[in-house]
Amino acid sequence: MRLALRLALRDLRRGGRGLVLLALCLFLGTAALAGIGSLSASMLAALEANGRTLLGGDLELRLSQRRVTPEETDAMRRLGRVSETVTMRSMATAASGEPVLVAVKAVDGAWPLLGRYAQESGAVARRPGPGQAAVARALADRLSLRVGDRLRVGASELRVSGIVAEEPDQLGEGFSLGPRVLVATDTLDRAGLIQPGSLYEARYRLLLRTPAEARATGDRWRRRFADAGWSATTAGNAAGGLRRGIGQLGQFLLLVGLAALAVSGVGVGSGVAGYLAGKTRSIAVLKVLGARSGLVAGIFLAQLALVALVGAGAGLALGAAVPWIVSAVAGDALPVQPRLALYPAPLLLAAALAGIAGLMFALPALARARAVPAAALLRDALAPGRRSLRVAGAVAALAAALAGLAVATATDQALAAGFVGATAVLLGALWLLGVGVRAGVARLPRSRRPLVRLAVANLHRPGAQTDRLVVALGLGFSLFAGLAAVNTSLASAMESTAPAKAPRFFAVDLQPEDAAAFGRAIRAASPGARIESTPSLRGSVVALNGRRIETMRLPPGAWVARGDRTITWSATVPPRNQVVAGRWWPADYRGAPLVSIEDHAAAVLGLKVGDRITVSVLGVDVEARIAALRRIDWSGLGLNFAIVFSPGLIQEAPHALLAGVYSGPRADGAVARAVAAAVPGVTLIRVGDVIGRLGEVLGQVAFAVRVAAGATVAAGIAVLVGAVAASGRARRADAVVLRLLGATRAQLLGAQAIEYALLAALLCVIAAAVGTAAAWYAVVQLFELPFRPDWLAVAGTLAAAAAATVAVGVVGNLPVLRVRPAAALRSE
Amino acid sequence: MIDARNLRLLLGTGDAAVEVLRGVSLSVAAGETVALLGPSGSGKSSLMAVLSGLERATSGEIHVAGLDLGALDEDALAVARRGRIGVVLQAFHLLPTMTALENVAVPLELAGARDPWGRAEAELAAVGLSHRLTHYPAQLSGGEQQRVAVARALAPEPALLFADEPTGNLDATTGAAVADLLFARAGQAGATLFLITHDEALARRCTRVVRLADGQVASDTRS
């Protein structure tokens, strides 16, 4: 082995340039995997490390639509230090501007128990006092507010005391639609922002005397005050939604990175095959001099391993640096600042995956090199064409190891298995297509024009890499075409379908006694506007058929039974709803509580008509029999409820109204102003803003996916560059002969442009078919939305990809054009 | 040294199959210098390939330096060549990524010889190239490359040296110098020399001349 290594190093010193493609492809594949893994690990680590600060304490106890009772306060104080915050939505209006939806947070004197609250310079108070509010920079900019200005929040007049610079527990509180307005709890109480039925959450953060027992303390608390609507969160699962989001996105991107690795693998295969083909004579010489096949394999395996180490090592280094790079370039756009450190686990995983993939794709070429006979020196004797079963078996075992490792290390193994399977099928299909294309092109009628004939011949001549290019570039192109189709379909679903049927506004916290004034204000601002209002209150499912939820293992998709939901009651079947099982109660029904459940939710929970469901409403358990299951048309974004009660007992609970406002599209400003003036306690949420915010989130996800898919395309381009380099010798020979026969450089350039345009056109057709099929599946089967891609955008994406292919191909071949026939012939 | 009986070699398959050697029998004693002559396509190079173990005969028996080459696989043939058989080819076939010294040292290293570098250096000095040790093949003239090839073939002190038109790619003066070297070094080493050539004058320097025509031995004369 030492001899193999010695000879390998000696040969690499001058002959290693041919392995640049191997190093480049492994670099790209490893960097993609290591970068994605390191970034998500660093963000999760940041959440982990700051769990207590994000949560605001060791334990958070949370209530919906009520605040703590004196008895509960006493019990809490015995556990440790307590801080109360109350969050709700409201409308804020400055002297000049339009009403803006804001996220109000009232804090007590003890807040924050952990971390630091900071304001921008110029604040008049360290924190907002009575009648004061600190506002987010975004709100100050939007309403042109300065410290000292007056701000109307709901029905109360406040003075801006500062601009919020740092709010330590904001991330832990999850997604909010509007910018922050921070007030003191005293202000909240005095200003009357909370009305009966108002939607708000009260959080109690505790610094426990025994922090290690946070979870047990939370469990004890919920048992002690069972049925009081408490939920408990510990630092270990703070910002759970964000954590799950980052984990899932990271996982998905890792799978896209795996596709990049697969394409890189094709490049590794090409690079190694090209390199070893160039070594055939040297291998034969070594055999003439007495080298065994094992030594030959050892020499080249050592070379490949050394070059792979350099490529993958550089990829790992770049991948490990990704948290630093992303933090420096796009730090503000991230939901959480990465915790900058070296994360060995994702690096090891990337190294292992890249190592296995590299070996798998290099093995067939290595086996061919091993079998080169000494007689290859005398004539261009080819290695035996017989494919070795041992090599096929080894490749299959490595493929299984690769898939197994990818799936075993995934958090969502079913998704990973599906993705790996789909990628394997796609790669296989692309390979078959590539082989078919090559064979098909060979059977095309010969053109009468020699340059066209040459261009077509270059696609199928011996040694042509058309099949590999179809796999390598086809996957990247398909990903981009698919993404364009998915993106534009989703955008079309949001922009065209929803607004046509959707309300312009949702109004929350509308008191029943204000309903008439609310309606008058709307109709005055937008004559002909329609208002669909329905009672709303918060409740959580606590038992199914008498069995408590906390004792059950809920299946995925059982969102109805998790946490607080908005519930309603109705005498008649709500609009856009259709009873699919059971019977709706009579309009005048006032008997024992009945309930109707959305059919999907019922199916997930295994509920049927006649079953019993218990809902805790403001701490009171209400048990109801399921009378009907409904199918809901969610597409219009109207007011829809998974749980609808029969009128009766539940009407006794304090409640507010929730309204959908169907006003004219140009009356948004007038409606908002009229409502703010007539019923200031009502919060209006513009549907367009919600869609815009969702669009932003989707846009960020799509961007992340595009970056990961970009690695796939980069690997594909590397394969193309490698293919161009590999065919350089044959092309130079062609060019010399054609120049001898009188062809001009322009004609040679034209022939190359035709060749790569043909290849690009083939790739576009394949990518359009594969990409749109995958996009159709995602949009129609996964998102259950109509498939309406913007074909122009898809075509534009493919055209850009095609232009890149032609450009790389032609530019890569420019050196061929510069060859002077005489010089080339002399060197032959 | 060489004992070949009724060697046949079929190359290609099906309609493209060509019988290159058609029952060649030949015995060469140790220390002989043999010239193999014949027109292009008569099977000279193929016979040398079979005798040196680069190619396996389709049928027939062949013993070289006491080894039954027909019974050996590709790897065993490679091992069999080490230290026994040296080969010099018309197109030099040096390893392009290695220096002259490294090229000569490789067969010694493969054979696990002691002091491969010292012996390689001495061998290169013997062919007059001690000033070219660290040059790569691309930096050497054709004559120099062929002298390196001769040094490489002789360094392991083989009992049998095959040379396939060793001067074919060289001008007359350089060719003559390489031929002198070949005969001199083979003589000093006591190696049996098996020379393929078109050059009658070169052939006359051998103790025996074998003529091949159409894959068969046409004549076999000793001087």
Q: What would the pLDDT profile of A358-385 be if each residue is shown by its tens digit?
A: 999 899 889 988 888 888 877 654 444 5
Query: Which tokens go with A628?
Result: 């009907």
CB atoms under 10 Å from CB of A284, counted, come to 22
CB atoms under 10 Å from CB of B15, counted, come to 5
Please tell me the predicted confidence (pLDDT) of residue A381: 47
CA distance A465 to A274: 10
Nearest CB partner across the interface for B106, out of A289, A293, A378: A289
Residues contacting residue A700 through CB under 8 Å, at least 6 positions apart: A333
DSSP codes of every residue in A381-407: PPPP-SPPHHHHHHHHHHHHHHHHHHH
Lowest-pLDDT range of A56-70, A321-335, B22-36, B73-87: A321-335
User: Mean of the pLDDT values across residues A508-512?
Assistant: 84
HSE (side-chain half, CA atoms, 13 Å) at A79: 27
Beta strand extents in B30-100 (DSSP E only)? 33-37, 59-64, 67-68, 85-89
Please write the tens of the pLDDT for every residue from A241-265: 777 777 777 777 777 788 788 888 8
* Residue A112, preceding peptide bond in cis (omega within 30° of 0): yes
Q: Band of the pLDDT at A825, cuts 50, 70, 90?
A: low
Q: How far apart are the first and last CA of chain A?
A: 37
Residue A526 has pLDDT above 70, yes or no: yes
Nearest CB partner across the interface for A290, out of B81, B95, B98: B81
Please write the tens of the pLDDT for every residue from B2-16: 999 999 999 877 777
The reply to whether residue A10 touches residue B79, judged by beta carbons under 8 angstroms, is no
The residue with greater pLDDT, B156 or A552, is B156
Please tell me the predicted confidence (pLDDT) of residue A382: 45
A286 at B interface, C-beta within 8 A: yes
A729 at B interface, C-beta within 8 A: no
Q: How far is CA A668 from CA A99, A178, A488, B186, in A?
A: 10, 17, 26, 103
Please write the tens of the pLDDT for every residue from B70-113: 888 888 888 888 888 998 888 888 888 888 998 899 888 888 88
- Residue for token digits 């001349």? B209
Beta strand extents in A121-174 (DSSP E only)? 132-136, 150-153, 156-166
Instruction: Report the number of secondary-structure helices (H) and strands (E) in chain A.
Output: 25, 21
Query: Which tokens go with A456?
Result: 């077509």
User: Mean of the pLDDT values across residues A732-737?
Assistant: 74
Taking contacts as CB-CB distances below 8 angstroms, the residues of chain A near B16 are none
Please tell me the predicted confidence (pLDDT) of residue A197: 67
Closest-CA residue of A relative to B164 is: A378
Shortest Cα distance, chain A CAs vs residue B98, angstroms:
6
Residue B33 has pLDDT above 90, yes or no: yes
DSSP state of A697: H
Taking contacts as CB-CB distances below 8 angstroms, the residues of chain A near B75 are 292-294
Work out how many CB contacts closer than 8 A connect A with B.
Answer: 82
Residue A502 has pLDDT above 80, yes or no: no
Amino acid (one-letter) located at B46: S
Q: Band of the pLDDT at A545, cuts 50, 70, 90?
A: very high
Shortest Cα distance, chain A CAs vs residue B154, angstroms:
11
Nearest CB partner across the interface for B109, out of A3, A292, A373: A3
The reply to whether residue A290 touches residue B82, judged by beta carbons under 8 angstroms, is yes
User: Mean of the pLDDT values across residues A616-620?
Assistant: 79
Of B17, B18, B34, B14, nearest in space to B26 by CA: B34
A377 at B interface, C-beta within 8 A: yes
Q: Band of the pLDDT at A625, cuts 50, 70, 90?
A: very high
Please tell me the predicted confidence (pLDDT) of residue B38: 92
Q: Band of the pLDDT at B56, cuts 50, 70, 90?
A: confident
User: What is the distance, to the nearest Å, from the Cα of residue A600 to the centroid of all Cα atoms in its chain?
Assistant: 25
A375 at B interface, C-beta within 8 A: yes
Taking contacts as CB-CB distances below 8 angstroms, the residues of chain A near B77 are 374
Q: Is the ipTM of this complex over 0.85?
A: no
The reply to whether residue B54 touches residue A375, judged by beta carbons under 8 angstroms, is yes
Residue A10 has pLDDT above 80, yes or no: yes
Amino acid (one-letter) located at A496: S
Shortest Cα distance, chain B CAs vs residue A417, angstroms:
43
- Residue for token digits 């807040």? A111
Residue A644 has pLDDT above 90, yes or no: yes
Question: Three-state DSSP class for A595?
Answer: strand
Of A105, A186, A173, A189, nearest in space to A139 by CA: A105
Please tell me the predicted confidence (pLDDT) of residue A496: 60
Please write the tens of the pLDDT for every residue from B134-145: 998 888 988 899
CA distance A291 to B107: 8
What DSSP element (H or E) covers A541? strand A530-544
Please write the tens of the pLDDT for every residue from A120-178: 887 777 888 888 999 988 888 888 888 989 988 877 889 999 999 888 888 777 666 67
Taking contacts as CB-CB distances below 8 angstroms, the residues of chain A near B95 are 11, 282, 285-286
User: Can you name the residues that pair with A510 across neighbouring β-strands?
Assistant: A657
A135 at B interface, C-beta within 8 A: no
- Percent pLDDT > 90 in chain A is 19
Query: Which tokens go with A813?
Result: 């071949």
Residues contacting residue A197 through CB under 8 Å, at least 6 positions apart: A65, A509, A511, A536, A537, A654, A655, A656, A657
Taking contacts as CB-CB distances below 8 angstroms, the residues of chain B near A368 are none
Please tell me the predicted confidence (pLDDT) of residue A743: 73
Closest-CA residue of A relative to B82 is: A290
Q: Band of the pLDDT at A331, cuts 50, 70, 90?
A: low
Taking contacts as CB-CB distances below 8 angstroms, the residues of chain B near A10 are 97-98, 102
Q: Please return the burial class of A493, using the count of CB atoms within 10 Å of its CB with bins 0-12, 13-18 and 19+.
A: middle
- Residue for token digits 């993609």? A32
Please tell me the predicted confidence (pLDDT) of residue A495: 66
- Percent pLDDT > 70 in chain A is 92
- Residue for token digits 């595009």? A706
Please tell me the predicted confidence (pLDDT) of residue A827: 47
Closest-CA residue of B relative to A12 is: B97
Taking contacts as CB-CB distances below 8 angstroms, the residues of chain A near B97 are 10-15, 282
Amino acid (one-letter) located at A431: W
User: Mean of the pLDDT values across residues B160-181?
Assistant: 87
User: What is the distance, to the nearest Å, from the Cα of residue A503 to the centroid of all Cα atoms in its chain?
Assistant: 28
Residue B187 has pLDDT above 70, yes or no: yes
Taking contacts as CB-CB distances below 8 angstroms, the residues of chain A near B79 are 290, 292
Residue-range domain boundaries for chain B: 31-44+79-222
Nearest CB partner across the interface for A290, out of B55, B98, B111: B111
The reply to whether residue A373 touches residue B49, judged by beta carbons under 8 angstroms, is no
Closest-CA residue of B relative to A370 is: B75
Closest-CA residue of A relative to B83 is: A290
The reply to whether residue A288 touches residue B54, judged by beta carbons under 8 angstroms, is yes
A13 at B interface, C-beta within 8 A: yes
Q: Band of the pLDDT at A703, cuts 50, 70, 90?
A: confident
Shortest Cα distance, chain A CAs vs residue B46, angstroms:
8
Q: Please return the burial class of A726, using the count of CB atoms within 10 Å of its CB with bins 0-12, 13-18 and 19+.
A: buried
DSSP state of A219: H
Shortest Cα distance, chain A CAs vs residue B180, angstroms:
23
User: Mean of the pLDDT values across residues A580-596?
Assistant: 92
Top CATH class, B31-44+79-222: alpha beta
Please write the tens of the pLDDT for every residue from A417-473: 888 888 888 888 888 888 888 888 888 887 777 677 778 888 887 777 788 888 888
Closest-CA residue of A relative to B158 is: A289
The reply to whether residue B87 touches residue A288, judged by beta carbons under 8 angstroms, is yes
Residues contacting residue A724 through CB under 8 Å, at least 6 positions apart: A808, A809, A812, A813
Residue B21 has pLDDT above 90, yes or no: yes
The reply to whether residue B74 touches residue A287, judged by beta carbons under 8 angstroms, is yes
Please write the tens of the pLDDT for every residue from A74-100: 999 999 999 999 998 888 888 766 778
Given a contact cutoff of 8 angstroms between Cβ atoms, the answer to whether A403 and A360 are in contact is no
Shortest Cα distance, chain B CAs vs residue A737, angstroms:
24
DSSP state of B93: -
The reply to whether residue B81 touches residue A292, judged by beta carbons under 8 angstroms, is no
Please write the tens of the pLDDT for every residue from A196-211: 667 788 999 999 888 8
Residue A820 has pLDDT above 70, yes or no: no
Lowest-pLDDT range of A203-212, A312-321, A333-342, A770-779: A333-342
Lowest-pLDDT range of A512-526, A560-574, A692-706, A796-810: A692-706
Please tell me the predicted confidence (pLDDT) of residue A740: 67
Question: Three-state DSSP class for B5?
Answer: strand
User: What is the distance, to the nearest Å, from the Cα of residue A650 to the centroid of all Cα atoms in its chain?
Assistant: 40
Q: Is the pTM of this model over 0.80?
A: no
Shortest Cα distance, chain B CAs vs residue A823, angstroms:
16
Please tell me the predicted confidence (pLDDT) of residue A499: 52
Of A122, A126, A152, nearest in space to A137 by CA: A122
Residue A588 has pLDDT above 70, yes or no: yes
CA distance A676 to A153: 10
Residue A497 has pLDDT above 60, yes or no: no
Given a contact cutoff of 8 angstroms between Cβ atoms, the answer to whether A730 and A277 are in contact is no
User: What is the distance, to the nearest Å, from the Cα of residue A207 to the centroid of all Cα atoms in its chain?
Assistant: 35
Residues 680-719 of A with CB under 8 A from B: none
User: Can you name the residues that pair with A541 across neighbouring β-strands?
Assistant: A615
Choosing among B97, B101, B160, which should be mutated to test the A contact, i.e. which has the most A CBs within 10 A? B97
User: Mean of the pLDDT values across residues A104-126?
Assistant: 86
